[in-house]
Structure 1
Amino acid sequence: MRPVLVYTASRIGLFLVTLGVLFLLGLSNPLALIVASFVISGIASYVLLSKQRDAMSERLSARLERPKSQDD
């Protein structure tokens, strides 16, 4: 479960950093600030968090492929 938490925390952190930078640059409309932060952090996470995304994907696919126990 750790790779999922690391990736999620990284995405949230990247969003908050982007939100703060855009606010400091003078973007004061709340809706525009949130939308722009979401788009920019999404693009940045695609590039910056590829290792974490791959680790999360491997972890989730391994968990889904694991046979389920029969409790009959």
Structure 2
Amino acid sequence: MIYSLLRLAIFIVTVGVLYLVGMGGWLVVLVAAIIAAAVSYLALAKQRDAAAVFLEHRAARRTRRPSTADADAAAEDDAS
């Protein structure tokens, strides 16, 4: 979540700077998105790695426990 908030903050600051420089319209959003992506890739490597580890652990927990559908199917198989 911190990583996403930091990326959003970089994007907003970039939009503001480009607007103050004189860029406007939809082009400011497009250019800001490209610049913000590059800056966040370079500046937020530590936060990106932490987010990836968090998502990996969360995905591993989900695959370990059976889903509700699997539990229902197992209960039906046991009943018959």
Say yes or no: TM over 0.5: yes
| Aligned counterpart, 1:27 | 23
Q: Structure 1: which 4+ aligned runs deviate by more than 3 Å?
A: 69-72
Q: Secondary structure at the match of 2:48?
A: helix
Q: Against the structure 1 CA distance between its residues 21 and 61, is the aligned structure 2 distance closer, same or farther, given a 3 Å change threshold?
A: same
The percentage of aligned residue pairs carrying the same residue is 33
The unaligned stretches of length 5 or more in structure 1 are none
Structure that is richer in helix per residue: 2
The structure with higher relative contact order (CA 8 Å, sep 6+) is: 1
Matches within 5 A, 1:1-72: 5-28=1-24, 30-66=25-61, 67-68=64-65, 72=71
Q: Which has the larger radius of gyration?
A: 2
TM-score of the superposition, structure 1-length normalised?
0.85
What is the TM-score of this pair, normalised by structure 2? 0.77
State the aligned residue count.
Answer: 67
With over 3 angstroms needed to count, the CA separation of the structure-2 counterparts of 1:43 and 1:70, relative to structure 1, is closer
Where structure 2 has 5 or more consecutive residues not aligned to the other structure, the ranges are 72-80
